[in-house]
A and B are shown apart, each in its own frame.
Chain A
Amino acid sequence: MTGCVTCLTRACDGKEGKRLVSILEVSDLAVEFNTIEGVVHAVNGVSFSLDSRETLGIVGESGSGKSVSMMSLLRLIPEPPGRIRSGSAWFDSSKGRVDLLSLSKTKRAAVRGRDIGFVFQDPMSSLNPLMTVGEQIAESMRLHLELGDREARTRTVELLDRVGIPAAAERYGNYPHQFSGGMRQRVMIAIAIACGPKLLIADEPTTALDVTVQAQILDLVKSLRDELGLAVIWISHDLGVVAGLADRVIVMYGGLVAECASVDELYEQPRHPYTEGLLEALPRVDQDRGEELRSIEGTPPDLYTAPGACPFAPRCSYTFDRCRREVPPRYVVNNGHDTACFYDLAERRPRSE
């Protein structure tokens, strides 16, 4: 066995040269959903840590548990049917270090929006259609920063301007339907950073947008991150997007962390067959023209059964007996790099314990 979770998260601590002060320490997070067809085991024991000012990319396909795990940090999944089965998430809030998962309702609300900003996937449905965008931004500032109406309004216009909405003052009183998708996502970002949070969690914020708009939003988040000193968790199914943004990447599969490494190392030396497959499926500039892109065969895992084996085993070309019997622990590859695989990709043979 691998031993304690803390050692694991240590193993996956940030890049060299950065201060190793983690502002978020998640261990053994497990989330399930009770549906009429049965229990969906969406997240099955996820651990990771995040340093201040660090950008962490979380990559995985639909159903890998990446969004659910991040949303459950702020308890934003519907409960019921959702249920957080286990785990802790220690976070440096403005009111001291707290476990996000065991906070009272009131204290949780004080962290949401104040210390952690959230940007969601679909800007078309994530804004209240009956409230002006200005109101929706000002709302949380009046609450958390106790600003008066006029101050909140002034600051909102500044924010709208900062996220790149032209004629911000006039746009304050507009409704969401008067904005394009990209503009709405800018508004969402303004909402997320309004109260000066430490951490910004972005849940596939560019997936629903045009490619050109995607790049603009990406640039906006980068510049805001550097300017405001934000830590960012960027959830994506697109390794390409994450490569240009993140310091460190977590690859998730079947509700588990498959691999965790610094972004360069992950792309250079993937140590999990799934990561390897993902990278081979990615088009590269330096690729020979004739070479075909590969895809990963098989279908995503069945989440109705609790994992008792490596969830990737059915699709993996390196699978051997052990993969179907046990859930692989996260093996440390080197400082800041670990992989949940019984097969040693570097040595091209099963690991010996």
Chain B
Amino acid sequence: MTSEQPQPASGPDLSPSADPLLEDERGRVRRALSYGAKLLLRDKGGMIGLSLFMVVVFAAIFAPYIALHNPLQQDLTRSRQPPAWRDGGSWEYPLGTDSLGRDMFSRIVYGSRVSLTVGFLGVAIALSIGLVLGLVAGFAGGRVDNVIMGGANLFLAVPYLLIVVVVAAVVGRSLVNVVLIFGITDAPLFVRITRGEVLRIRNSGYVESAVAIGAGRARILFDHILPNLVGPLITVATFEMSAMIFYEAGLGFLGLSVPPTIPSWGNMLAAGRQYLASTPWVATYPGFAIIFTALGMNLFGDWLRDVLDPRLRRKGR
């Protein structure tokens, strides 16, 4: 076995600052923020990602003002109109119409509402459940820890999509159900991350010294553990939000998401699939909306991770 030796930071010793473990937490957050602001301006990816994402949020909030038509209004005389730049298209329906004559552009704009609702609320629920259970598991240890982690690992062992599909089929199609399904089935991931961080931080030198000088559990939790959890959780939340938007569209594609009357990107893909050869825009354009959103969130998430994860940053490259 190896002997336990102190392992000082390696690499060229350039940092003029003192031992990072002794740094004040709040100072660290402040430095991360100013570093982040600097990076956001310098790193094009993060800026582009944030902009793309803001466009989607904007579209979702102001959908009634942006949409050209009522997204539900059918007009069979105008069904399957191609996009404006194709032969037979018109700028009245810039992205064409679907088989029931509904305006594609307006439906895509309104579809962002479903996607963002599912993404935001789903992650909020998963994060809340995961944070609480993860903290409990990490702090309590022993049997409580075993039960919680056993449950979490169980969910993580089954292919995620399989659980989601089965539950969606059982509970039926509604927005609330979809949000709950994602919120609950995605919680185990957050449980695992939270617990891992709690254990890591509790065993670190600065928390041990805080305990040694008599800091209580609440103090450890609020001063040390929660601030350290912010980074990893926000980063994962960004990626999970993007993943949920994917999965919602996928469920819609299988006919298991929100009711078909609600315009959502997944429902639109599913409806357009059977006319793929004759009216390809119906199935493909909602996909661009998904990609646009996912691109924004992933670029932003990558950037967030670089800024918020001090372990990555300290590797310095």
Query: In the complex, are there CB atoms of A and B closer than 8 Å?
Result: yes
Partner of B14, one of A33, A120, A121: A33
In angstroms, Cα B6 to Cα A300, docked, is 23
Chain A: how many interface residues by the 8 Å CB criterion?
35
The reply to whether B16 and A302 contact each other, CB–CB distance below 8 Å, is yes
The reply to whether B7 and A208 contact each other, CB–CB distance below 8 Å, is yes
The reply to whether B13 and A62 contact each other, CB–CB distance below 8 Å, is yes
Query: Which A305-322 residues have a C-beta within 8 angstroms of B?
Result: none
Q: Which residue of B lies closest to A254 (CB)?
A: B16
Query: Which A20-66 residues have a C-beta within 8 angstroms of B?
Result: 33, 35-36, 40, 42, 62-63
The reply to whether A68 and B10 contact each other, CB–CB distance below 8 Å, is no
In angstroms, Cα B39 to Cα A36, docked, is 8
The reply to whether B3 and A42 contact each other, CB–CB distance below 8 Å, is no
The reply to whether B38 and A36 contact each other, CB–CB distance below 8 Å, is yes
Known: A63-B14, A121-B8, A207-B8. 12 other contacts (CB 8 A): A35-B316, A42-B12, A62-B16, A63-B16, A67-B13, A78-B317, A122-B7, A122-B8, A125-B10, A181-B5, A300-B16, A301-B16
User: A68 — which chain B residues lie within 8 A by C-beta?
Assistant: 12-14
Query: Given A35-B316, A36-B42 in contact, is the A63-B5 Cβ separation under 8 Å?
Result: no
- Pairs across A and B, CB under 8 Å, 17 listed: A42-B12, A63-B13, A63-B16, A68-B13, A77-B12, A121-B10, A122-B8, A124-B2, A124-B5, A125-B10, A180-B5, A181-B2, A208-B6, A208-B8, A210-B3, A210-B5, A303-B16
- The count of A-to-B residue pairs whose CB atoms sit within 8 angstroms is 66
Chain B: how many interface residues by the 8 Å CB criterion?
19
The reply to whether B2 and A67 contact each other, CB–CB distance below 8 Å, is no
The reply to whether A122 and B2 contact each other, CB–CB distance below 8 Å, is no
User: B2 — which chain A residues lie within 8 A by C-beta?
Assistant: 124, 177-181
Q: What is the distance, in angstroms, from B27's C-beta to the closest C-beta of chain A?
A: 15
Q: What is the distance, in angstroms, from B167's C-beta to the closest C-beta of chain A?
A: 42
Q: What is the distance, in angstroms, from B309's C-beta to the closest C-beta of chain A?
A: 15
The reply to whether A42 and B7 contact each other, CB–CB distance below 8 Å, is no
Does B15 reach chain A (CB closer than 8 Å)? yes
Does A173 reach chain B (CB closer than 8 Å)? no
Type the 1/0 row for B1-45, where 1 means its CB is closer than 8 Å to any CB of A.
111011110101111100000000000000000010011001000
Query: Which A126-175 residues have a C-beta within 8 angstroms of B?
Result: 126
Query: Which A196-245 residues have a C-beta within 8 angstroms of B?
Result: 207-210
Does A104 reach chain B (CB closer than 8 Å)? no
